[in-house]
Structure 1
Amino acid sequence: MGGIQTDETIGIILPASVYDRLADGRSQINVRAYQEAADQFNLTAAFFKVKDIKPGRTTISAWIKQENGYHQMTIPLPKVMYTRAFLSRRQQKFLTEKGVLFYNQKGFKHDKYRMHTMIEEDPALWHCLPRTERADRTTFHTMIRTYDSLILKPVDGSLGAGIMHVEKVSKNSWRVEFQMKRKQWETKTFQHEIPDVILKAFEARPYLIQEKILLATHEGRPFDLRVVVQRDHTGEWVLAGILCKVSPSTDQFITNISQGGDSLSFDEVLTNHPDLPLGQTRDVIEKTALQLARHIDRYARHIADIAFDLALDASGRVYFIESNFRGRYGNVRYKGKRLEEWKAKHTNPVGYGRFLYDQMQQP
């Protein structure tokens, strides 16, 4: 069965790894999910990669589903493109000049501190912001005098790389926990002098210092949240899914999956939780995530997909930690609620492409 063929084509710019599987004729579950969404919204799905967009050329080579599978075809540039990869400035300029609406391009430079200060501009969001400062000797001393537990992390880091934990252990002494090798943690106790491991980190790259939130726990292990919000066929922001990232152990502060943390469904963690009612907690998370998305949307053109890392404390209060403009949804076959959320993360952005086409037809 071929995909629906219409005059309205949505270009879906795939990451290289996904594109290569499609081009090699191998089954790709992400592509199937996008194809189903395109069929649902009466769009022709055209799959290609970033390098296929050649400034100055008004056609593109794309894979389009036919009766007997996917075929590579040369087509006019689609008027609407959903990107899962980063476009160069030259490509963006060219597409804009040609009247192509492309969305989900990275909103702005990845900078955790800049994002925090930008959110801080909205007083309605102050309640979800842990205190955060740019790291230097002065702010470090100020923060350890104010808080008993702090997180230090690179402003442009990912996957937990470079993160450190500083904790007060007595009236005049603190302990820093840091990573020398992947998943290999060491500690150092200090009093007045800032340890070399911290100073060298500050000198090597920009860091921020953040008040550490005492996370809610699952079976004794701290967890935080990966919350995905997307635009859908209505053009509005909607909650697409909530995932719990659970620390590897009761005494480990980091929850990143790449650092040994577990990925569990929200329902699995919150059902029968002793402190956090499932429905009420979900409502608070959804409200906060949508507030954040609408605020960030003012500063970035045509973003349609934001993955927030949010903290949740034992009282149910939600805090913003950081965000990414393109979540990693993988190609794992989930079941039940997680399968529904995984499908929604592919359906919503394609639906937003349908919305943009409909907007073009408005007088």
Structure 2
Amino acid sequence: MRNVIGILLDHKTYVGIVQKQTGYEYIEHYNRAAKGLGLIPFYMCLQHVSDKSALGLCYDNDRYTLKRLPIPKVIHNRAMTLSPYLQKKLQALAKTSQVFNGQNRHDKLRVHKLLHASKGSASYIPQAMSYSRDHIMKAMNQFISFYVKPTNSSVGKGVLKVTLMPDGLWEVCWSNKEPRVLEEQPALDFIEAKVKGQPYLIQKAVPLAMYQGRPYDLRVSVQRGGTGEWGVTGIAGKVAASGRHVTNLAKGGEAMRCEKLFLANGFNPELKREQVEKAALQIAESLSKQIPAMSDVGMDIGIDQSGDIWLIEVNGRDQRYQYKHLNLNKTFYRTYETPMRYAKYLLSK
């Protein structure tokens, strides 16, 4: 079966396919895109993969069939492989197949260093450094406001925001708790207690543009398509909940059309969108030179109050649901169709 494309899912998502309980993965869009492209999607999970074959669900003639097939030549990775066992299985799979987006959890500090070394992308990167008590003290001397965030997490988990107040005290925001206002040493102790020796980084806070008194940023879906080139599939705004310091929808943020946000800040919507797309494509090109399998990412991009563009972070497994929230149904579909077009391109090579 030459036209089979593997789609690698988390075990929970995989077993929920038949019951249509697949969380954020809208499997029907993969099926529709594959049918239009003359492909057969084969849904897999690493737990059911052996050296030369995999047990999975093959979608053909509008129905699922449980089959054991040879490892597909091209696989789109949508699984999160955090455990050493799953990482080892994924590495073995990549030796026999072209697994694109194989590495989909990107260490934030590594991404910062890679882009900082790139002439074309360095201007989009806020100042950052690895976490240590000495570096926190350095940040307090250099920045009015900064974030302390895990280098390897998502949806805003574990992020602290530290801000200098007019009276010289420090406000520390953590999760959805009431902000702490502390002197320097107690603030340092509080931050250290939350970090608990885990890998964190310190990043200068971008003074984000606001909507009705709440900061917002943009989720930009950047994907390789049918020619193998990078393109921007969609852009959606994320506005922080009142009193919150993160914009993630999972943390109470609100999805909003980017054009509405641009207009509220006096930005030309067409020009600003064009500038954001240009920045996102430059960043994707720079990173993929160092991480070749990268092909499907969701970038969090901020615009400051002066209109300058900043990369906040790169998400290797874009959940895409912001477009569904906004009824941008064509864009939502294209975020599934585009990687299938890229899979067909790889298969043809």
Q: TM-score, normalised by structure 1?
A: 0.86
The one-letter code of the counterpart of 1:95 is L
> Any stretches of 5+ residues in structure 1 without a counterpart?
1-5
Task: State the identity %.
Answer: 24
CA distance in 2, matches of 1:114, 1:348: 27
Is the radius of gyration larger for structure 1 or structure 2?
A: 1
Aligned counterparts, 1:40-55, within 5 A: 40-55=36-51
CA contact under 8 A between 1:275 and 1:314: conserved in structure 2? no
Q: Which residue of 1 aligns with 2:73?
A: 79
5 Å matches for 1:1-363? 7-24=2-19, 30-55=26-51, 58-67=52-61, 69-86=63-80, 88-98=86-96, 100-106=97-103, 110-170=106-166, 173-179=168-174, 182-191=175-184, 194-249=187-242, 251-270=243-262, 272-330=263-321, 333=324, 338-359=328-349
Pairwise CA RMSD of aligned residues?
A: 2.5
Supply the AA of the counterpart residue of 2:164.
K
> Could you tell me how far apart the structure 1 residues matched to 2:213 and 2:171 are?
22
Amino acid in the other structure paired with 1:8? N
* Count of paired positions: 344
Q: CA shift at 1:123, angstroms?
A: 2.1
Q: Per-residue displacement from partner, 1:298-336 (whole Å, max 9, x unpaired)? A: 122322111111111122211111112111134985565
**Residues 252 and 63 of structure 1: is their aligned pair in 2 closer, same or farther, counting only changes over 3 Å?**
closer
The more displaced of 23-32 and 159-168 is 23-32
Q: C-alpha displacement at 1:142, in angstroms? A: 2.2
Whole-angstrom distance in 2 between the partners of 1:185 and 1:256: 18
2:255–2:325 contact (8 Å) kept in structure 1 = no
Q: Which deviations, in whole Å up to 9, do the C-alpha atoms of 1:143-196 show, x marking residues without a partner? A: 22222112222222332222222222236x1322232xx522231221466542
CA–CA distance in 1 between the matches of 2:120 and 2:205? 21
Over 3 Å counting, the alpha-carbon distance change for 1:7 and 1:155 in structure 2 is closer
Q: CA separation of 1:67/1:152 partners in 2, compared to 1, >3 Å: closer, same or farther? A: closer
- Measured in 2, the distance between the counterparts of 1:293 and 1:68 equals 35
- C-alpha contact 1:307 1:323 (8 A) present in aligned 2: yes
Distance 1:27 1:137, change over 3 A: closer
C-alpha contact 1:128 1:319 (8 A) present in aligned 2: yes
**How far apart, in 2, do the equivalents of 1:184 and 1:193 lie?**
17
1:26: Cα distance to partner? 6.7
Contact 1:80 1:102 in 2 (8 A): yes
Structure 2, unaligned runs of 5 or more: none
SS in structure 1 at match of 2:115: helix
**TM-score relative to the length of structure 2:** 0.89
Q: In 2, Cα distance between the equivalents of 1:27 and 1:130?
A: 36
